[in-house]
Amino acid sequence: MIFLRKSFALLAELWSRFWFAEVSPYPMALFRVLFGCYLLVYFLGSLPHISLFYSNAGVYCPVLVPDIAPNPPVAVVLYATTVALILALIVGYRARFVAPLVLIFYLYHFCLNIWVRACSYDRLVVMALIMLCLAPSDQVLSIGARRQRNGVEKQVSAWPARLLAIHLCLFYLSTGIYKLLSPDWQSGEIVKGVMTSNYSSDFAFAVVGLQLPSVLFDLMARSVIVFELICPVGFLIRELSIKFAFAKDSLHLRKVQYYFFAGAILFHAGIWIFMQIPQFFICPVFYVLFIPTSDIKYFIRTITGYIRRLLPDVSPGMELNAVYARSSDDESIG
């Protein structure tokens, strides 16, 4: 009985430590910036078609609501307001107030868009916006961030970043399991099919037109399944040591997760090139939640140092200078 009580107490402590540990604010802050940039590109893509997509003078398909599309001038104002809110989110201006507004305006435009399908990448966007509404993502890398006192970095709760990271892992894992169990994905014919669909690019049709061996397409289909199944684990691995039989030395790999990040980015780039679906680049935005804080700070130092060389007149008092402060904290989702 005592053993069970101690076991439950240990599990409760591990559970609480995993979800509610105090961690560095940099992963969520960088996620806010990159996610805001993704949303900005997403909306600017429809800039030439505001009246067509979002006004009563165009072609739209409202979801769950009656005919609510405004006239073109009002649609332009609402669209411009959305873009302004996204810019405010990127720079971290009152993020806890701006994020709910971005969510509302995003859902409004999403429900009017004729291309609305509630695809998996759309659900990732909504999930990210909900978490940004709940999480303090403007502690650093924002124009409203307070300066650190005595070089001590203010910590935040880990649960928003870890919930988003788990959501992404399940995103890859579930698609991999579905393809593994689907009869259609047991051969490369499914790959040929998606490369000659209505969404496919001219380049994809040209590749299929080369009449490549069927075994090559079979290999592509199986590679996709294997990669989607193992990449959630690969995202968590920072270092890996492999001991070979009958060998004295072992192979030590560092920063293993970055190889998986690179592979996943190439995978989504292929979807963009062959199927003309760039929206899946929302996934790499989530990768920063797996990266150690020290690596994030090094990346920011490199970028800000490069900017200073290009713009030597930039004020040295900007908040981004905080990343130069040394910190022993190396918290991340892993």
Q: What is the pLDDT of residues 221-236, one digit of tens each?
A: 999 999 999 999 999 9
* Token code pair at residue 98: 């701006």
Give the per-residue SS3 of the chain: CHHHHHHHHHHHHHHHHHHHCEECCHHHHHHHHHHHHHHHHHHHCCHHHHHHHHCCCCCCCCCCCCCCCCCHHHHHHHHHHHHHHHHHHHHCCCHHHHHHHHHHHHHHHHHHCCCCCCCHHHHHHHHHHHHHHHCCCCCCCCCCCCCCECCECCCEECHHHHHHHHHHHHHHHHHHHHHHHCHHHHCCHHHHHHCCCCCCCHHHHHHHCCCCCHHHHHHHHHHHHHHHHHHHHHCCCCEEEEECCCCCCEEEEECHHHHHHHHHHHHHHHHHHHHCCHHHHHHHHHHHHHCCHHHHHHHHHHHHHHHHHHCCCCCCCCHHHHHHCCCCCCCCCC
Residue count of the chain: 334
CA distances from 334 to 115, 169, 172 (A): 36, 12, 17
Q: What is the pLDDT of residues 284-318, one digit of tens each?
A: 999 999 999 999 999 988 888 888 888 765 444 44
Which amino acid is residue 33, in one-letter code? V
Whole-prediction pTM: 0.85
Read off the pLDDT of each residue in 200-210 and give the average, rounded to a whole number: 91
* Token code pair at residue 305: 């140092």
CA distances from 96 to 29, 79, 138, 228 (A): 12, 21, 8, 34
In the chain, the percentage of residues whose pLDDT exceeds 90 is 48
Q: How far apart are CA 292 and CA 1, in angstroms?
A: 40
* Mean pLDDT over the full length of the chain: 85
Q: How far apart are CA 137 and CA 30, in angstroms?
A: 8
Read off the pLDDT of each residue in 306-333 and give the average, rounded to a whole number: 54
The predicted structure's pLDDT at residue 235: 94
Q: How far apart are CA 52 and CA 54, in angstroms?
A: 6
| Geometric angle at alpha carbon 125, from 318 and 235, rounded to 5° | 80
Q: How far apart are CA 278 and CA 112, in angstroms?
A: 20
Q: Is 112 exposed, middle or buried (0-12, 13-18, 19+ CB in 10 A)?
A: buried
Q: How far apart are CA 211 and CA 213, in angstroms?
A: 7
Q: Does position 75 have pLDDT exceeding 60, yes or no?
A: yes
The predicted structure's pLDDT at residue 1: 73
DSSP lists the bridge partners of residue 234 as none
Find out whether 219 and 316 touch, Cβ atoms under 8 Å. no
The predicted structure's pLDDT at residue 246: 64
CA 318 to the chain's CA centroid: 26
Which amino acid is residue 146, in one-letter code? R
Read off the pLDDT of each residue in 244-269 and give the average, rounded to a whole number: 84
Confidence grade of residue 282 (pLDDT, cut at 50, 70, 90): very high
The predicted structure's pLDDT at residue 218: 93
